[in-house]
Amino acid sequence: MTTEFNLHSLSSLFISYDKLSADWRTYRKDPERYIHRFISINKRSFQFLGVTASYQVRNYQSGLLLCSSQYIGAAPLLSPMTGEPTYDLNVTPMFGENLGQVITLLGERIDIEYAPMKLLRPLTFRVPVYFSCIEFMKAFEKAIGCKWTKFSTKLNFENRPTSSTDWCLYAKNSFMPDRHFSYANIKSFHSPIHTEWMELTSLLRTVINTYISSNPPIMVRCRYESLISRLKEYIRTNPSQQIMAPPTVVSSDPPVIKNLKAEAYRFISQKSDFAKSWRIEVAALFERFVQHTFEKAARLGGWKWHFNEHFVIKNPSGVRWVLRYIEPDIVLSRDDKQWVIDAKYKSHIYNRSSKDNDSIKSSFREDYHQILAYTSFAPSTSSRKQSMIVYPYSTLWINNLTAESPITGVVCETKLIGLPFTTDSLEDTVINISKILNED
């Protein structure tokens, strides 16, 4: 395929119909019809990634216009001619950061959303272990309602022989007078409680324990709390048997059971090279990266850190439009000193030489007012309030701002930080951030 669907977050991409026609072999006929068909059959992928797709004419040339949102991720695109997966739509951060290394570094700090649509290429990052646990638990709950039964056998001693009587066992026991009319009959019956299901039930207990010990993000824990409660109750009231080997998928298994066995095999083998569609808000990813960086820097200086603490706003009159709380990204404290840090995934530092840019000024005014509001909670014993606003940048960049009240003499010092959104120079960045935190 000659066409690639790669665009940055919060950007647009125009693909001419000439390129698309070469892939679809439509010979440049009826561009509007085929592009609208392409948009229609890929509606699910576009919605998942927050991408808006439309038919456009630019410079007398028809084509497809894609406009991305705050999400980054990947999803498959189907051919309008065959309906088969043909492309991977990739939305990457706007500054070209090394996404795979960052996601692998943060691991279970982030909440990645996945969809069952399969990509053509495998993921480039390690999937957190709690994801495979969630997939197994969801598959198990679906399988509970499947009523998957198998033939089981049971040995019953009865006073009449049948076609399934074990005559060898009868010969051994019939010499006893009280067992002369006791026949060992083998009974076959369908049962939902068979060896394979009991082994999967036992594996479920292991999966739940692994999920809890992996300490998933709080948003994930809240989302699946009720599911885990239901599955725990199922384990408590149903028999289980230790699993000896990964389950084998057979052709006679129902589809939901095949899916459950596949998830069981993935969990047992801990394979992470699967290729499911995924997405995450790039601002949330940058925020977690900044928190990771400042946590390491805080450890070097003996600072205590608090992430996303809720400062509750009391509203006795019940005014509906009043905020319930404010939430600074990071608060560092040591003795009577405090740093408040807010992460913003914006291009401000990249455009620091821009003149008369009203949109950047307006955006920064909001950021600055917000950080000043957070610093109002600094200890009252200090007349010097310290804060940082962190933006992404290619190298570590620092600029100092000072706001002083002529009435009270209170000084608010704010550092604008340009932080490399990469793992390559992370150790040096941590050391330099630690020096900034410990400056007098």
The pLDDT of residue 44 is 95
Q: How confident is the model at residue 383 (pLDDT cuts 50, 70, 90)?
A: low
The pLDDT of residue 410 is 82
The pLDDT of residue 152 is 66
Q: How confident is the model at residue 87 (pLDDT cuts 50, 70, 90)?
A: very high
Q: How confident is the model at residue 195 (pLDDT cuts 50, 70, 90)?
A: confident
Q: Report d(CA 383, CA 375) in Å as an integer.
A: 11
Give whichever of 117-126, 148-157, 285-294, 397-406 has the largest mean pLDDT.
285-294
The pLDDT of residue 273 is 53
Q: How confident is the model at residue 320 (pLDDT cuts 50, 70, 90)?
A: confident
Q: Is the pLDDT of residue 19 over 80?
A: yes
Question: In terms of C-beta density within 10 A (0-12 exposed, 13-18 middle, 19 or more buried), how is residue 231 classed?
Answer: buried
Average pLDDT estimate for 127-144: 86
Average pLDDT estimate for 230-254: 87
Q: Is the pLDDT of residue 250 over 90?
A: no
Mean pLDDT, the chain, integer: 86
Q: Which of 102-111, 150-159, 210-219 has the lowest mean pLDDT?
A: 150-159
Question: In terms of C-beta density within 10 A (0-12 exposed, 13-18 middle, 19 or more buried), how is residue 20 classed?
Answer: buried
CA neighbours closer than 13 Å in the CB half-sphere of residue 185 = 14
| Angle at alpha carbon of residue 71, lines to 99 and 59, rounded to 5° | 100
The pLDDT of residue 269 is 78
| Angle at alpha carbon of residue 272, lines to 269 and 277, rounded to 5° | 135
Average pLDDT estimate for 74-98: 88
Q: How confident is the model at residue 117 (pLDDT cuts 50, 70, 90)?
A: confident
Average pLDDT estimate for 168-188: 70
Average pLDDT estimate for 6-29: 89
pTM for the full predicted model: 0.73
The pLDDT of residue 398 is 94
Percentage of the residues of the chain whose pLDDT score is greater than 90: 41
The pLDDT of residue 1 is 59
Q: How confident is the model at residue 287 (pLDDT cuts 50, 70, 90)?
A: very high
Q: How confident is the model at residue 175 (pLDDT cuts 50, 70, 90)?
A: low
Q: How confident is the model at residue 440 (pLDDT cuts 50, 70, 90)?
A: low
341 touches 332 (CB < 8 A): yes
* CB within 8 Å of 178: residues ≥ 6 apart: none
Q: Report d(CA 158, CA 155) in Å as an integer.
A: 10
Q: Is the pLDDT of residue 43 over 60?
A: yes
Radius of gyration of the chain (CA): 31
The pLDDT of residue 295 is 95
The pLDDT of residue 381 is 58
Q: Is the pLDDT of residue 416 over 90?
A: yes
Distances (CA, A) of 102 to 121, 163, 420: 19, 67, 11
